[in-house]
A and B are shown apart, each in its own frame.
Chain A
Amino acid sequence: MRFVRKKLVQLIVVMLCVTFFSFLLLELLPGDTATTLCAGAGGTECIEQKTEEFHLNDPMPVRYVRWLGGVVTGDFGSSARNAQPVSEALQQRMPVTIELLLYSQFLALIIAVPVGIIAAQRAGGLFDRGSTGVLFLFLAIPNFMLALVLILIFPVKLKLLNAVGYTPFTENPLKSLGSLLLPAITLAAAEMATYMRLLRTDLIATMQEDYITMAKAKGMSPRHILLRHAFKPSSFSLITVIGLNFGRLIGGTLLVEVIFSINGLGKYTVDGILGRDYIPVQGAILVIALGYVLVNFAVDMIYAALDPRIRHARSLV
């Protein structure tokens, strides 16, 4: 219980810091909401009216507190450009980004884990060096290039899959996964090499442990030793990095969302910034930061689930 309370306090502090600093940063951008909205039309009258409407003359802390007050009561504000409530927009876009993220990490792991395990069994061998080479090649290809190549191959040449667009998962799961396959591959490509190498290195280290020799001296099969004895204690670095990546990618899906015209969180944030439409940006940042904290919390829980020593140490505090 103490653990949960500590995490909750941490969560609130992180959220306050992140949203305050993002407010500050947006404030420092050249140009403001009113001028951007009235560009081309209106003139000074329009600007004055918009400034009045969105309280743009209030000092920054006052506006921050007003926004925060709204958030606390469940009101995330609305877009200044099209008056769409931020909460509605987030509801539409969050599932897209979350699906894309989970999907890409799943793809990365489904390649990296078996390859890492096989490579660790014959460290320095042909498979080890070959697979490392291939995966690092994928790591080295820039995201946008891979995306374009994939679009050229599948939708354009082979007439397979759509280059753009998204089918919601709730509507048709299979079609949805199909619509996100290329963006997910694009995101996964860069992570596979890291995941595979992390797992491989930790497995090799674990295989040197006494308890592995002990398992062997009991007559357990190499396969059993690798999967039942070595895998769990070797997965900690991998889980840590996946956790960090989730945080990074929640904001980082942007490029892929733009290339594949997917209306996710990343695209929403960028549109907001370009339009100097700060309330939606604040909402998105709030959600991203929340996701980041939650993922880290989940990583902590997974550690505890994997390692009884962590579990017990925690129940003592």
Chain B
Amino acid sequence: MTATEADTNLSVGQRATLLEVVDLSTTFRTERGMVHAVDGVTFTLDRGRTLGIVGESGSGKTVLSRSIMGLLSGKNVIRTGSVKYEGTEIIGYSAKQMSNVWGAEMSMVFQDPMTSLNPVMKIGKQITESLRRHLGVDKDEADKTAIALLKSVGIPAPEQRLGEYPHQLSGGMRQRVTISIALACGPKILFADEPTTALDVTVQAQILDLLDEQQRERHMAMILVTHDLGVVRTRADEIIVMYGGKVVEQAPTSTLFASMKMPYTEALLRSIPRLDMPSHTRLDAIPGRPPNLISPPAGCNFAARCRYVQPRCLEERPPLVAAADPGHFYRCFFPVGTPEGDAALQANISAGTAVAAPATRSSTTSEES
């Protein structure tokens, strides 16, 4: 199936909402206090579409995706809000009920393929066990499907791989295997949690392209988690920017890049890893550290690191407000590209208090509170 065919199918009446998340929060009860890892996230995802979730390390991307899937268990996890899958509320589903959703309806590709495959189980078994569980096929048929899956994700000599163990494969190959496992039962939503962060730069693009291709062929929705705005720019239909567990900006991709409002999004864009950086450079390119999730600052979470910061930002917490464009939301009193924002930035620059642009960041790391 080609891209245009998929798009046509999409317009032929399948443009239904697949996933509807309303005000989802996830809190961990810990010895140090309540960790508000995800706070009030709302979005909808249509069939075949891609949602990008962007944010630096610790912003709650993994917790959000696992929380939507209901993979976080334990007495110390508190989950509130609503997650509707195909119109059915799945918060409150028991693990047993969820196990029919997991793998078959939603599945996940994890951040690190070095740890997400069982080191002592053959690759073939790791693929076929869910086939047999969800599709009820016999061993021979499951093996055949597994071989076809491995071939489709670009693994050479798939027959031979079935009998091998994860450590016999390179990182990129392992991530291809985990993708084939995630795709095995034809899920309608694929969560890809930073699927390339742990891989070499050269392999990263290959894996992202593979995900694209599979998504198009299968007409599957995808939630693509990344810390790199550049990755979702060309791949996502809508983007959610997270900071300290909160959505700070949310917009259709083209709107976001045409008129971003949130200083944090702007800072993220400035800090997109460049080719001349080492491959594991993370997004601490923005001076300062992410906020404390146990006792968040009184005002805006990002104030301590913001170039636009004003006294009001330190005292009052900005709500998520709608921008002029449909579907565009942000959380800021002095948005980028508005008269208030420009004035705030100018004031800070002339007062010499603006947190410098990333290019000269090393001299300003002391700004963090």
Which residues on the A side are within 8 Å of B102 (C-beta)? 216-219
Task: Indicate if the CB atoms of A221 and B99 lie closer than 8 Å.
Answer: yes
Bound state CA distance, A280 and B284, in angstroms?
Answer: 72
Contact with B along A278-295 (1 / 0, CB 8 A): 000000000000000000
Main secondary structure of the interface of B (DSSP, over half): mixed
Asked if B69 lies at the interface with its beta carbon under 8 angstroms from chain A, I say yes
Interface residues of A, dominant DSSP: helix
Question: Whole-angstrom distance from the CB of B112 to the nearest CB of chain A?
Answer: 7
Which B residues touch A218, using CB under 8 A? 102-103, 107, 129-130, 133, 181, 184
Partner of A309, one of B71, B108, B110, B167: B167
| Inter-chain contacts of A232 with B (CB < 8 A) | 120-121
B256 part of interface (Cβ distance < 8 Å):
no
Alpha-carbon separation in the docked complex, A171 to B136 (Å): 49
**Given A214-B178, A308-B167, A219 and B100 contact (CB-CB distance below 8 Å):** yes
- For residue A209, CB closer than 8 A to chain B, the reply is yes
* Contact, CB under 8 Å: A308 / B165: yes
A307 at the interface (CB under 8 A from B): yes
Name the one of A214, A221, A228, A307 contacting B117, with C-beta atoms under 8 angstroms. A214
Whole-angstrom distance between the alpha carbons of A222 and B133 in the complex? 13
Does B40 belong to the interface (CB within 8 Å)?
A: no
Partner of A312, one of B168, B182, B185: B168
> CB within 8 Å of B: which of A190-241?
209-211, 213-222, 224, 228-229, 232-233
Most chain B CB atoms below 10 A, which of A219, A228, A229: A219
Mask, A48-60, CB within 8 Å of B = 1, is 0000000000000
A218, A222, A224, A233: which has the most chain B beta carbons within 10 Å? A218
Q: Which residues of B contact A220 (CB under 8 A)?
A: 99, 103, 129-130, 133
A211 engages B115 (CB within 8 Å): yes
Q: Decide if B133 touches A219 in the complex (CB within 8 Å).
A: yes
Chain B interface size band reads: 20 to 34
Answer yes or no: A306 CB below 8 A from chain B CBs.
yes
Bound complex: CA A263 to CA B99 (Å) = 56
> CB within 8 Å of A: which of B86-105?
95, 99-104
Nearest B residue to A231, CB-CB = B120
Q: Cβ of B115 and Cβ of A309 under 8 Å apart? A: no
Contact A306 B120 (CB under 8 A): yes
Expressed in whole angstroms, the minimum distance between the Cβ of A221 and any Cβ of chain B is 6
CA distance A215 to B112 in the complex (A): 15
Inter-chain contact A211/B129, CB cutoff 8 Å = no
Complex-state Cα separation, A312 to B103, whole angstroms: 31
Give the residues in chain B near A211, CB-CB below 8 Å: 115-119
| B282 contacts A by Cβ under 8 Å | no
The answer to whether A214 touches B133 (Cβ under 8 A) is no
* Complex CA–CA separation, A217 to B116 (angstroms): 11
Which of A214, A221, A228 contacts B108 (CB under 8 A)? A214
Complex Cα spacing A213 to B67, Å: 12
CB distance from B122 to the nearest CB of A (A): 8
Q: Are A215 and B118 also in contact (CB < 8 A) when A221-B99, A222-B95, A308-B167 are?
A: yes
Please tell me if the beta carbons of B119 and A233 are within 8 angstroms of each other in the complex. Answer: yes
A84 to B53, CA, bound (A): 82
Residues on the A chain within 8 Å of B185, using CB: 219
Cα A214 to Cα B69 in complex, Å, equals 12
- Residues in A with CB closer than 8 Å to B115 are 209-211
Residues on the A chain within 8 Å of B66, using CB: 213
Query: Least Cβ distance of B336 to chain A in Å?
Result: 37
Assembled-state Cα–Cα distance A75/B287 (Å): 80
How would residues 171 to 196 of chain B score, 1 for a CB under 8 Å from any chain A CB and 0 otherwise? 00000001001101100000000000
Question: Is there a chain A Cβ closer than 8 Å to B317's Cβ?
Answer: no
> What are 10 residue pairs bridging A and B, where the CB atoms are less than 8 Å apart in the complex?
A210-B110, A214-B116, A217-B182, A218-B107, A219-B102, A221-B133, A228-B121, A233-B118, A306-B120, A312-B165
Complex A-B, nearest 4 residue pairs according to Cβ-Cβ distance, in ascending order: A219-B103, A218-B130, A219-B102, A308-B165
In the complex, besides A211-B117, A218-B129, 10 extra interface pairs with C-beta distance below 8 angstroms are A209-B115, A210-B116, A214-B116, A219-B100, A219-B103, A220-B129, A221-B99, A228-B121, A233-B119, A307-B120
Chain B residues at the A interface, C-beta cutoff of 8 Å: 66, 69, 71, 95, 99-104, 107-108, 110, 112, 115-121, 129-130, 133-134, 165, 167-168, 178, 181-182, 184-185
